[in-house]
Every structure is written in structure tokens, then in C-alpha cells.
Structure 1
Amino acid sequence: MSTTVPAPEAAAPPAGAVPPDEDPRVTVVVMSRNRRDELLGSLGRHRAPVVLVDNGSDDGTADAVHRAHPRVQLVPLPDNVGAHARTIGVRRAATEFVAFADDDSWWAPGSLAAAADVLAAHPDVAVVQARVLVGPEERLDGLCAQLPDSPLPRPAGAPGPVLLGFIACGAMVRRSAFLAAGGFDDVVRFPGEEERLALDLATAGSLIVYRDDVVVHHHPSPRRHDRAARVAAVTRSALLTAVQRLPWTWVGRALLRAVRGGPATRAGVRAALPDLAAALRARRVVPPHVRALRRMLE
């Protein structure tokens, strides 16, 4: 487990203030839906040009952002497309490195440049996963606590532990590799959108690495789904990802676990059904070496 001292959280800039761009190689892509107040509080913290993709908000988000943050490139969508909004944002970005943030997360000062340095120095790295600190108390995200001890093989010269997944709101991607792997698709949408992309990046020979010296602050919005809804949504995503990329025996095991898991996981099965045909059309089973990596994590 990491013993690195957490990076102190910088104070929010005054209303209307624009922090200096930290690195010309980076764009920040933010997705949001109906969280106007949280978004207005976090946008001013980004130290790079921002592309904001709004997932069909009806709370006045677009007008408020135009007034308070005129430099932000706003992409308003008529409907909620989930994490596919990030893919739309990456296509709009003018830089090769793109940092993701949600309306309740932002990169600590110095971390955009640090992650960009990793990507610039290691062409085989497609994603840099940051250390995510949660809430005003800066609690280490539970997943990040495990990442330094990743059991996956670490090639010589890899700039950090190698992963087969990441936390989208705390990751920087290489734009070309992200788009070549399909980005976040419009089948899974959200949450759990990272898994299919991670499998495809591994299939392409690209690395996802964890860096303890790169920090993202995440202050989860109080307006989040209850636990049962979250479990159902995660189950739906896992099943659709399995149908897209995993052998049928693995899909069957995942389905059986969900059916036996309880009301929330069974709700996730039902929620997956409308998108099953789209998942089948996108089906392409990952090669044996990627399946071996996944087994190591299981």
C-alpha cells in the first residue's frame, strides 16, 4: 500500500478567475448531467482547456456555464448518452493527451503535467490512472489502495503497476489509442464503462498504468443513486461488457451470479435486455493472453 503523503487540495479560485493552463499537451474533458451547482464549483479548478459535454441537462446548466465560464467549449447533447459523452468530448479535443473529470472531480495542481510526461515518455502507455482522493478529508479511494499491488505482469520500463481497468474520472488517456480502441461505447454507457475499453486496449498491446504521484480530487455529489440502483447499474454494465468481449462460458457464469445475487442484481439483468442486441452486434472475444490477465485479477 502506498505511503505517499496526500497532495494538499488547492483552494478553489475566486468566481470568474481562470487558473493558468498547466500543460499545452492536455485538454480536460468533463461530462455532466443536471448537476449545475457542482459543475460551476469544479470547472474553475481545471488548469487546461475544457471541453464540457452536457448529457441533456434540463436544470439550466448550459446557460449557467456560458455566463460563468465562457472559455469552456460546451457540447450540449439532446439526450443522455452516459459515458459515451466522453468519447464525443475526446473527438473535440485538439490535444493528444486528454484528462477526464466529472462535475465533482478535478486534477491537483501539477498532476496534469506529470501524467502528460508519463504518456510522452512511454508511447506504449494509453492510460495513466491517478491516485484519487475522496472528499474534503482526502480519503484514498478504495480501489486506488489496491492498485500499487496489481498482480499483472509489469514489462521492463513500464512507468507504474499495470492495470486492466481504471477510474474514468481520474484518468488521462492518449487520444489516438483511446479512439482506436473505440472509446467509451453507447451500449454500456454508465457506470462500468471502463472495462470494455480496458480489454480492447490490452488486446491492442497498450498499457494502463497507475501513478501514485498523480492526484485527482473527487468530491462525490450528494445527488447520487441509492446503493440498490448502483448495484443494478453495475450489473447491467458487466453483463453487456461480457457479451461484447468474453467467452460464452464466462457470460453464463456472470449471468448466473446476477440471477442468484438478489433483487438488485436481477434488476440489472432486466436493465441489460434492451441493449442485448447492440452488445451482440459489437461482440468480439478478446484473445487468450487478455483472458489470462483477467483471470489473474479474479
Structure 2
Amino acid sequence: MLSVIIPVFNNGAEIRKAIASVLNQPEIMLGQITLEIILVNDASEASCVTLLESIAALVPEIALYHHEQNQGPAAARNTGVKIAKGNLISFLDGDDEWALNKLALLLPHLQDAKIMVASGHIQYVFDEGVQKPEMQFETSDNLLSHVHLGASLVKREVFDKGLFFGSNFRCSEDIDWWLQLREHQFGIVIIEEPTLLYHIHGNNMSWDKTLAELNLFAVLQTSLRRRRNEKPAQPLPQLNDFRRFEQPLVSVVIPLFNGEKFIARALNSIEEQTYSHWEVFVVDDGSTDGGADLVAKQFPQVRLISQENRGQAVARNLGIKEAKGKYIAFLDQDDEWLSEKLALQVNALNQNPYTAFVTCNQKYHSENGSETLPSNMRQTLNDVHRSIVPSGLMVRQYALNTVGGFDPTLRAGDDMDLLLKLRQVGYKELNVEHLLLKKWFHDANDTFNMPKMRAGLFEVLRRQSRRNNEQSNK
């Protein structure tokens, strides 16, 4: 059973079109879904009440309820939820419409037991005479991924767990509710197709209001207070993290320093990936060999950036700054990916929106034909184990920006420092349990420069200890 809740406050005849967009869903017309439409009159004027009563008399699926005093849309929706009998809940404002195929698009995703909310894009429809605002739409036909409730279908369990709308907010209560969904880590899917037609007629509640008038600052502060009470506080995913059906751009960043004899192998391993939506930045860190020239001549699709020798942390940060990808992957000049590395890690992040970064498994290979690794290393050549080096990492770009990327003052251990910072912030991680990285060792590896590595590790641990103390004193 589906319960559709429509808060009403002084709506006119446009509400007939809104209701018709629900009744005209094919699944409802064919009797595949039992429907109730709950109109919650939020103390409208008498003319609107008369209109609602006439509509309710003609449509048997409608139940009409009244608030004696105006309490706002959040309270009206809460009233509807408490009355609703459906195991699925949806919403619609009286001046908007569902897309004709909304139910057909969203219902399949709710068959997954882990998904509690399925939503789509919003198509903005500007009424005649309304000036189009300066909004950055995602497509030429005014599509936007946003939190309008009318675009979604919600399982009843979400409300059974107490996740109602903040009735203290007259505006942006939908944003607050979506923040709570993410705070509770409910399963969410946002599809690319539009499921709501959002009419802009100039009298919309949110029209021509400042951020303060929309209660946006108060909503964000409320969310921060809720999360600060958690131990540890969890960063929230962005809405785009729940969009499963796009093929997100992956930006690959490679620091290059005197790697002429290695870099072609690394770049060839990118070109052999089964996942093809990527861009590559090679940051030449003041090399004195011909590596940069080789990249420029043999790999014209690679963006080559040059800097004075300032270390790999600075080089990686420069690549991150230039990157346009939703996900960032790193590859050292002397390492090599297996062909499914990007595909499997992209899939892992797409399927786990509350995860900020993923790693993979690696295996060591010897450049000089040696059958053993140096004695200071715990692994063997035949040992397949989790990789926590940059070449095995893929991370959401905003998570990197949140922690400030790699520490440019570290000449060694900057990769371990980044991992510790991501973990301390509270970002979730997982490992793709596949061998996806060939980690080559040779005499020039920094790993074998023990004085440099010891000094770097000591400094990383010192900084982490300081961060821990600062966090405990907050």
C-alpha cells in the first residue's frame, strides 16, 4: 500500500493537477498498488477548504484532515505520516506533479532490503512570465539532483524509527530530514531520471528568500549538534554519492621524478583498464632524465604538469587541485595496475556511499630478478596482501579536500599521514579483496632508504599524537 501525503495551504485549482499526477501512475491505474492520498489542510482559507472537500468527494482514495491552526508543512507532513497506513510513503506539494513513470522507476530499487529511500532528479518547470533564476542545472532541460520530497519513495521503517520532520522549521525541513537520513546511514538511491516536476510560479515558499530566511544556517547547525554528540562523529556523504547509474570520472595522479625507465609501464596499465572514464595527470617533480619528454611524446592524452623538485606530496596535491574527477586514484611511476583495478574500486564506492575510500590487494614483483624481498620487509614475493600505499588507493575528492590532501612538509610518510587523517576524521573505508596492484621493488625505492623512512614515520606518529590530543581536548 502507498500513502501519498499532500500538505495544503491556500492552494488553488493547481492541486487537481497534482492529485491527477498520482492517480495516473500506471501501477495505480492497473490496481497493482493500493493507494491512499492524505490531504492535510494546514488552516487554509474557506475557499480552499471548499475546493478540497469537493475534490475529496469525487476521489475515493482521498482522506481529508484539518489543522485548526497553521503549523507549517513539516507539521502537516508529520500528521499525514502518523495517519498513513501504507508500507510505502511519498509526498507531493499541491503545486507540483509526479513524473508519469515515477513509481515504475523507483519501486524496483526498494526491493533491495538495504535501500530505505529511492529518489530521482527534479525537473524544474517555469511558468509563463516567471524569470528563470541563475541556477546551475545539470542538463539543458533543467534537471537537478536535490532534496525535494516529492521526488522520493520512502519505506515505512524510516518513520517507525522516529525520523519525522522538524516542525520547528518553516522552511528547509526537507533538507534537515535528508541530513538525518545520512546521519542514521539509511540506504539511499538517487536515479538519473526525473521523478518530480517542480513548478516555479513566483509564489513558491522558497522563492526569492535569503539563506537565513530559508532557515538553512539553523538546519546545518542542528545537524552539526546532533553529530557532535556521536562518538566518533561521522562525516556525511554528498547527495551525488547516492547516484549509482553514472560512470563517474576518475582522476589519476602520478608524481614523476627521474622515472624514465618505469613510467611507460605505469601509463600502459591505465590504458589497459576495463573502466574507460578517466583522466591522467603526470606531475613532473623536477626530473633530470627524459621521463617527462617520453610522456609528452608517447602519451599525448596525459596532462603533463611540471614543478620544481618539491617532493611527491606537493606533486600529488597539485594533481588533486587540477583534477575534475569525482574519485581520485594514485599511481606511483614504478607501479602497475591490473586491468580491473579502476572498475572494481569505482563499483565499490558507487555501491557504498557511506564509504569515503577504498584500497585493494597487492603483490610484490622484483625488477632485478631477485626471488626474495629485502630482510626488513615482512612480506614475500608470493604474498598477496592489502595495499595501503597510494597506488592501491581510490578516494572521493571531497574527502581529500576535507583533510587537506597530502602534507607538503613531509618528504616521507606523507601517504601514511593521509590515511591516518582520513581515519581520524571518521571516514569509512573498505578493501576490494582482489589482487589489483603490482608493486615493483628495485634499488631506487624510497622504502629501502631506511634513515629517510624512519625519520618520516617518526614525524607522522608525532603529528598524529598531537592531533589526537587536540581532538580529546575539544
- Report the TM-score, using the length of structure 1 for normalisation: 0.63
Bigger shift: 24-33 or 92-101? 24-33
- For residues 169-204 of structure 1, the C-alpha deviation after alignment (integer angstroms, 9 at most, x for no partner) is 2111111101211111112132x2223222221222
The aligned counterpart of 1:209 is 430
- For residue 417 of structure 2, the aligned residue among 196, 200, 203 is 196
For 1:92-241, list aligned pairs within 5 A. 92-135=322-365, 142=379, 147=386, 166-190=388-412, 192-213=413-434, 215-224=436-445, 227=448, 230-241=449-460
Bigger shift: 136-145 or 112-121? 136-145
Query: Judging changes above 3 Å, is the alpha-carbon distance between structure 1 residues 243 and 222 closer, same or farther for their aligned structure 2 residues?
Result: closer
AA in 2 matched with 1:103:
Q
AA in 1 matched with 2:420:
L
Q: Distance in 1 between matches of 2:456 and 2:299?
A: 33
Query: SS in structure 2 opposite 1:133?
Result: strand
Q: Distance in 2 between matches of 1:61 and 1:168?
A: 20
Query: SS in structure 2 opposite 1:243?
Result: helix
Is 1:55 aligned to residue 289 of structure 2? no
- For residues 83-109 of structure 1, the C-alpha deviation after alignment (integer angstroms, 9 at most, x for no partner) is 231121122111111111111112211
Q: How many residues are matched?
A: 211
Whether the 8 Å CA contact 2:332–2:391 is kept in 1: the answer is: yes
Whether the 8 Å CA contact 1:128–1:208 is kept in 2: the answer is: yes
Q: Distance in 2 between matches of 1:145 and 1:40?
A: 24
Please state how far the C-alpha of 1:24 moved relative to its aligned partner: 4.7
- For residues 215-261 of structure 1, the C-alpha deviation after alignment (integer angstroms, 9 at most, x for no partner) is 1122234433584xx221121112222332205xxxxxxxxxxxxxx
Is 1:26 aligned to residue 256 of structure 2? no
Higher helix share: 1
Query: Judging changes above 3 Å, is the alpha-carbon distance between structure 1 residues 105 and 187 closer, same or farther for their aligned structure 2 residues?
Result: same
For 1:33-44, list aligned pairs within 5 A. 33-44=257-268
Query: SS in structure 2 opposite 1:126?
Result: strand
Query: SS in structure 1 opposite 2:262?
Result: helix
Whether the 8 Å CA contact 1:104–1:221 is kept in 2: the answer is: no
Q: Distance in 1 between matches of 2:287 and 2:309?
A: 8
- For residues 120-139 of structure 1, the C-alpha deviation after alignment (integer angstroms, 9 at most, x for no partner) is 22233222111112227999
Q: Distance in 2 between matches of 1:119 and 1:194?
A: 20
Bigger shift: 204-213 or 216-225? 216-225
Query: Judging changes above 3 Å, is the alpha-carbon distance between structure 1 residues 284 and 222 closer, same or farther for their aligned structure 2 residues?
Result: same
State, as a whole percentage, how many aligned pairs show the same letter: 25
Q: Distance in 1 between matches of 2:470 and 2:394?
A: 24
Q: Distance in 1 between matches of 2:372 and 2:280?
A: 26
**How much is the aligned-residue C-alpha RMSD, in angstroms?**
2.9
AA in 1 matched with 2:416:
E
The aligned counterpart of 2:309 is 79
Is 1:45 aligned to residue 269 of structure 2? yes
- For residue 465 of structure 2, the aligned residue among 219, 229, 246 is 246
Query: SS in structure 1 opposite 2:261?
Result: helix
Whether the 8 Å CA contact 1:126–1:178 is kept in 2: the answer is: no
Query: SS in structure 2 opposite 1:36?
Result: coil
Q: Distance in 2 between matches of 1:195 and 1:223?
A: 20
Q: Distance in 1 between matches of 2:329 and 2:321?
A: 13
Query: SS in structure 2 opposite 1:188?
Result: coil
AA in 1 matched with 2:349:
L
Any unmatched runs of 5+ in structure 1? 1-22, 148-164, 248-282, 289-298
